[in-house]
């Protein structure tokens, strides 16, 4: 497996790249969002170009790839969200889908093999990203954890989008997949879908359909293809299934060759109330999870995810990231699974 990180393009400064190389990271997945003028001078122009328009030009993708390679890293994939009008079947969705296909074609031409998207819902009404309800839960050694409590979240008013039921989103997802997966297959770029997080049926009146093993099975049946795949987020699957369910899901999707990339994080709790904790203290046996991923033949990128905020750590949480990277690298080495 390839040890990696995913983050906004703006964060991959020369200092960050050197830091990652020092820790033995060789792969990055670039997220388009959140640039907001926070770049350093040497990549400011690159970020600006990469974010112009609604699809990615070949020259800008090449510039991102060459920047990473000049620092000794490989771009394993790109992550971006799907436009609201596509998810909600609103006017303009066909233009957005065509732009998505242009990006796929250009990614194929420059050799970036994975496009990550999710969660086929809209997080309207959320207080924190990914629908969390607290960011200061005190954990081990007074570290700060991000938490979710459904008893708090369930009473959030219906959003400005109104009530959106499951079948509305299944219809729009099917429309999207039937348009883009044939292009992804043609270009050799895997499309990988992140589960809803958290995986409760609805929040703020908006359904969250990618919330179970059965949901992913349904996704893969819409357009059967080796390029219609998933993000296996260990934290999300622990939330929705508990540890034993995670191990079964790794076997299920791994044997189907549907795991396109893996997110490495752990939680304490269950779907209705959980804390995002350090990987060695959560409910999931991470040693067993890594061994099972190897057993089913998974060989692609595994990235650290949702790092707790430890004492003396400041943005971008270099200490917490170093712990998670080192812990993951040790697990991969012990399982003889590190590429």
User: What average pLDDT does this structure show over 164-190?
Assistant: 98
What pLDDT is attached to residue 32? 65
Mean pLDDT of 311-320: 82
For the residues 154-163, what does the mean pLDDT come to?
Answer: 92
**Nearest-CA neighbor of 8 among 22, 25, 29?**
29
Residue-wise burial string across 33-60, b where 16 or more C-beta atoms lie within 10 A, e elsewhere = eebeeebeeebeebbeebeeeebbeeeb
Mean pLDDT, rounded, of the chain: 91
Report whether pLDDT(276) > 90.
yes
In terms of Cβ atoms closer than 10 Å to its own Cβ (0-12, 13-18, 19+), residue 61 is buried
* Distance from C-alpha of 335 to C-alpha of 219, rounded to nearest angstrom: 31
Higher per-residue pLDDT: 233 or 317: 233
Beta pairing partners, 30: 7, 78
Residue 51 has pLDDT above 70, yes or no: no
> Strand, coil or helix: what is 27?
strand
Contacts of 22 (CB under 8 A, 6+ apart): none
Domains of the chain: residue spans and CATH: 2-334 (3.20.20.150)
Q: Residue 303: which H helix or E strand, with range?
A: strand 301-304
Please, which pLDDT band fits residue 109 given cuts at 50, 70 and 90?
A: very high
* Contact of 16 with 64, CB cutoff 8 Å: no
The yes-or-no verdict on residue 115 having pLDDT over 70 is: yes
pLDDT band for position 33 (cuts 50, 70, 90): very low
Give the lowest-confidence range in 24-28, 63-67, 75-79, 83-87: 63-67
pTM of the model: 0.94
- The answer to whether 249 and 221 are in contact (CB under 8 A) is no
Residues 88 and 164: beta-carbon distance below 8 Å: yes
Residue with more model confidence, 182 or 48? 182
Q: What mean pLDDT do residues 317-339 have?
A: 94
Averaged pLDDT, 146-163: 94
Higher pLDDT, 56 or 272: 272
Between the two ends of the chain, the Cα-to-Cα distance in Å is 5
What is the C-alpha to C-alpha distance for residues 172 and 292, in angstroms, rounded to an integer?
A: 34
pLDDT beyond 90 at 246: yes
Which tokens hold the place of 109? 């031409």
CA–CA separation, 313 and 143 (whole Å)? 10
Out of 47-51, 89-93, 329-333, least confident range: 47-51
Strand runs labelled E in 87-210: 114-118, 134-138, 144-149, 190-194, 202-203, 206-207
pLDDT at 127: 80
Q: Work out the pLDDT band at 303, boundaries 50, 70, 90.
A: very high
* CA 108 – CA 51 distance, rounded (Å): 18
Predicted pLDDT of residue 45: 52
């Amino acid at each position: 497996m390839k040890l990696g990180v995913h983050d906004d393009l703006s964060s991959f400064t020369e200092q960050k790249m050197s830091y990652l190389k020092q820790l033995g990271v060789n792969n990055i997945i670039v997220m388009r969002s959140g640039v907001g003028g926070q770049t350093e001078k040497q990549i400011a122009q690159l970020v600006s170009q990469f974010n112009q328009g609604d699809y990615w030009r070949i020259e800008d993708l090449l510039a991102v790839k060459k920047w990473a390679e000049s620092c000794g890293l490989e771009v394993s994939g790109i992550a971006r969200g799907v436009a609201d009008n596509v998810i909600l079947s609103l006017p303009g969705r066909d233009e957005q889908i065509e732009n998505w296909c242009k990006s796929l074609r250009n990614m194929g031409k420059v050799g970036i093999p994975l496009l990550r998207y999710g969660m086929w819902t809209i997080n309207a009404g959320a207080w924190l990203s990914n629908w969390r309800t607290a960011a200061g839960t005190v954990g081990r050694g007074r570290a700060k954890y991000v938490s979710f409590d459904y008893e708090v979240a369930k009473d959030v008013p219906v959003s400005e989008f109104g009530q959106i039921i499951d079948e509305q989103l299944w219809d729009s997802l099917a429309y999207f997949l039937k348009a883009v997966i044939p292009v992804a297959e043609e270009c050799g770029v895997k499309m990988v879908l992140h589960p809803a997080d958290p995986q409760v049926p609805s929040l703020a009146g908006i359904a969250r359909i990618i919330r179970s093993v059965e949901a992913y099975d349904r996704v893969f049946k819409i357009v059967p293809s080796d390029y219609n795949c998933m993000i296996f987020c260990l934290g999300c699957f622990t939330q929705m299934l508990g540890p034993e369910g995670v191990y079964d899901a790794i076997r299920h999707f791994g044997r189907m060759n549907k795991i396109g990339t893996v997110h490495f994080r752990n939680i304490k709790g269950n779907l209705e109330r959980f804390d995002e904790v350090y990987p060695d203290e959560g409910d999931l046996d991470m040693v067993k999870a890594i061994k099972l991923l190897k057993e089913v033949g998974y060989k692609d990128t595994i990235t650290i995810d949702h790092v707790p905020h430890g004492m003396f750590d400041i943005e971008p949480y270099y200490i917490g990231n170093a712990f998670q990277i080192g812990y993951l690298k040790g697990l991969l080495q012990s399982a003889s699974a590190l590429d």
